[in-house]
Amino acid sequence: MESFRVEIENLHLEKVKELKMREESAMERIKSKEREIEKASFTHRQKVLSAEETIRLRENDIKKTVEMELILVKNEKDRM
């Protein structure tokens, strides 16, 4: 009976160790996926910010062009 109890305890300890290893492995995979997601999110945010900056620059160029054309039209009008 004692040897059976010891055998069962040993099996139990082995299963606990195995489950602990699986849990650690799963946690490491989760952390790895989280890092990948954070990296992808950062990259996406940088692309969005870059696109916004490009749009702002284009808007400024368009405004300057419109202002210059208005000045040219006014000058042409005044000249006539």
**CA dihedral defined by 74, 76, 78, 80, rounded to 10 degrees?**
-150
pLDDT band at 79 (very low <50, low <70, confident <90, very high): confident
41-66 pLDDT, tens digit each: 999 999 999 999 999 999 999 999 99
Cα(25)–Cα(34) distance, integer angstroms:
14
Distance between the two ends of the chain, CA-based, in angstroms? 117
Give me the percent of the chain exceeding a pLDDT of 70: 100
